[in-house]
Structure 1
Amino acid sequence: MSFADHPLIVVTPVYEDVEASSRLFMELAVQFAGRIFVVAVDDGSVKTSLDIDSLQRAGLEGVILQLRRNVGHQRAIAIGLGYVSERIESHQRVVVMDSDGEDLPATIPDLLQGLEQEQVDVVVAQRKSRIETLKFKLFYAIYKRFFSLMTGRAISFGNFMGLKANAVRRLVAMQELPIHVAGTVLASKLRTTARLIDRGPRYAGQSKMNFVGLVLHGFKGLMVFAEDVLVRVGILCGLIASFSMVGITAAIILKLVGFSTPGWFSVALGILVLMLLQTGALALMTLMLTGVVRGGTVSNAIAYHDFVERVIETRGQTSRP
């Protein structure tokens, strides 16, 4: 069977996690025998590179995209979607999922059911339950509120999602996709709906993502909406500068009418002037950066070929991208 003969395409990044991904392939084969094509992106693994035997033992058809270097989880997904976008037919559906077991194959039909609606392009998974530490849950709750404050949008989903063909093509034409997949879905203005889905435990091993990596991933989500963030920061700076001007005027009036104590006027005036200068400079910088971001926003398709060393197919063929 060729790529176009499979109604479901699964894109999954794998990094030094052969044991977990092999179990995922087995469960996908049980769930969707004969109807699924897997695009596994080996994200520059060195110790345990993903082998095509992992797919063949599970009885699945698919390809392994072996990358020249480690590019990170989000860019690896973007590369997989770039590969799919050049081959996908309108009747096919795509599921993006992690390979560690936390995205359960048994919940994929729920995502696909949401795509049956004509007015839906993307179905995202909102976690009904999480197997996480209290520290992670607290950080995630704070991050969601901070993200909403800085961008004016709510984010409550990750990479586990189902997409129609038109959604895949639209996303790969957005230069933000390698930065943050979920944020790009929000920015794409695609018609999106959410399904409450349980999160599973890891199949094996430990997560490669530490706390610093999670913080960096969160800030990358803000980068997708850099223009909105800069405008909001500029508005805040303008408000603080305005309050500083009011404070300076009030301090001068109090000094002139004799209501200021010795030393009070110079200290208050110095602090307010310093606040005015700093916020004014920051507001000017944010306006300049906003112009740079707006002027540099040019949509380019994901050039995934530059990162792929070779494509290994389940039929035993190896080719250049």
Structure 2
Amino acid sequence: MSENFAIIVPQFNDWEALNLLIQKINSDLNTPILKNTTLLIVDDCSSKKRNQPFATFEGKEIKLLKLYRNLGHQKAIAIGLSYVAEHLPTDKVIVMDADGEDAPSDINSLAAKSLEEPDTIIFAERNKRTENFMFRFFYVIYKMIFKLLTGKVITFGNFSLIPQSRLQNLVRVSEIWNNYPGGIIKSRIPYDSVLTNRAKRLAGESKMNFVSLVLHGLSAISVMIDTTAVRILIFSIMMSGVAIAFIFIILFLKLIGNATPGWASTLGSTLMILMLQSFLISLFLVFMVLQYRSQQHFIPAVHYRDFVEKVETFS
């Protein structure tokens, strides 16, 4: 028996690219998958009205889920997943962008990989990127900082396949509300990836600027703030050890008479102040994280309905 698919596409003012994406899905998706696919478009409270009908979709149907307010890409994904988990009978869920940079043909590869690992979330890992040099440069820096602060490696974005067996688990992971891939890493739900090449935007211009890229990177790190806080505390303790070692060296130089008058006391007191400040700030951060962990968290599966204005169906 054929499996049912749902494709979740969050979008904000990307109506033209979205219509081109629907046509690409029609032409690039394997027929057995396409005929059993529901397309769920999550409209993140677009400020531009849709001025033309949707392109003809050769799958089962198109559903348009409209939000009361603009929440951002990651929260729109969490809402779409929660809606599918509650309302759509589906075996596998695809998450992809509306601009066409996630190639519909790669869904076939994700589905094939999912057959080999049926209870695993499958991500599209970028083998070749089409962005400019500056973007690629800062993306490498972001991955290095992410690994340094969290101890994890992140090599993928939102484009992914979620099997039904993991969907109900995923929509109860509060961290996907802030960052979808980071939340999956934090949740310890098994995941794997397939290599894909990023496609080019179908229409319009990207709304992602440098500031939004930094915010996206910070949101990924923030979902594992407990690990990050402890690693910062450990680093602070190590640096304090280095500072103490330097203070002893300074005292030794002063005792043997090789220190410039006033230099040893000034440098020693400065190192001591910096050591105490970094240690206390790190300790305060750890206690804040522990306090946060004791509070009730936002659960997408429970609270997503508060943001859904209406759902329209197009055959």
Structure-1-length-normalised TM-score: 0.89
Q: Percent identity?
A: 34
Equivalent AA in structure 2 for residue 25 of structure 1 = I
Asked if the contact 2:118–2:163 (Cα under 8 Å) also holds between the matched residues in 1, the reply is no
Asked if the contact 1:120–1:193 (Cα under 8 Å) also holds between the matched residues in 2, the reply is no
Asked if the contact 1:17–1:48 (Cα under 8 Å) also holds between the matched residues in 2, the reply is no
Alpha carbons of structure 1 residues 301 and 76: separation in structure 2 relative to 1, 3 Å: closer
**Which segments of 5 or more consecutive residues in structure 2 lack a partner in the other structure?**
none
Asked if the contact 1:88–1:165 (Cα under 8 Å) also holds between the matched residues in 2, the reply is no
For residues 87 and 45 of structure 2, the distance between their equivalents in structure 1, rounded to whole angstroms, comes to: 23
Asked if the contact 2:226–2:286 (Cα under 8 Å) also holds between the matched residues in 1, the reply is no
4+ residue segments displaced more than 6 Å = none
Asked if the contact 1:68–1:307 (Cα under 8 Å) also holds between the matched residues in 2, the reply is yes
For residues 230 and 36 of structure 1, the distance between their equivalents in structure 2, rounded to whole angstroms, comes to: 42
Alpha carbons of structure 1 residues 215 and 181: separation in structure 2 relative to 1, 3 Å: same
Q: Which residue of 1 aligns with 2:96?
A: 97
Deviations 1:293-315 (A, max 9, x none): 33237473432111111111125
Deviations 1:53-82 (A, max 9, x none): 316x33440210011111100100110000
3-state SS in 2 of match to 1:262: coil
Structure-2-length-normalised TM-score: 0.91
Deviation at 1:269, TM superposition (A): 1.8
For residues 99 and 51 of structure 2, the distance between their equivalents in structure 1, rounded to whole angstroms, comes to: 13
- Aligned-residue Cα RMSD (Å) equals 2.0
For residues 205 and 136 of structure 2, the distance between their equivalents in structure 1, rounded to whole angstroms, comes to: 18
Equivalent AA in structure 2 for residue 226 of structure 1 = I
Asked if the contact 1:12–1:39 (Cα under 8 Å) also holds between the matched residues in 2, the reply is yes
Q: Which residue of 1 aligns with 2:38?
A: 37
Deviates more, 1:245-254 or 1:196-205: 245-254
3-state SS in 2 of match to 1:195: strand
Aligned length: 308
Deviation at 1:257, TM superposition (A): 4.2
3-state SS in 2 of match to 1:176: helix
Alignment of 1:124-139 (within 5 A): 124-139=123-138
Q: Which residue of 2 aligns with 1:285?
A: 284
3-state SS in 2 of match to 1:290: helix
1:73 aligns with 2:70: no
Equivalent AA in structure 2 for residue 7 of structure 1 = N
3-state SS in 1 of match to 2:175: coil
Asked if the contact 2:172–2:300 (Cα under 8 Å) also holds between the matched residues in 1, the reply is yes
Asked if the contact 1:227–1:293 (Cα under 8 Å) also holds between the matched residues in 2, the reply is no
Q: Which residue of 1 aligns with 2:193?
A: 194
Alignment of 1:103-142 (within 5 A): 103-118=102-117, 120-142=119-141
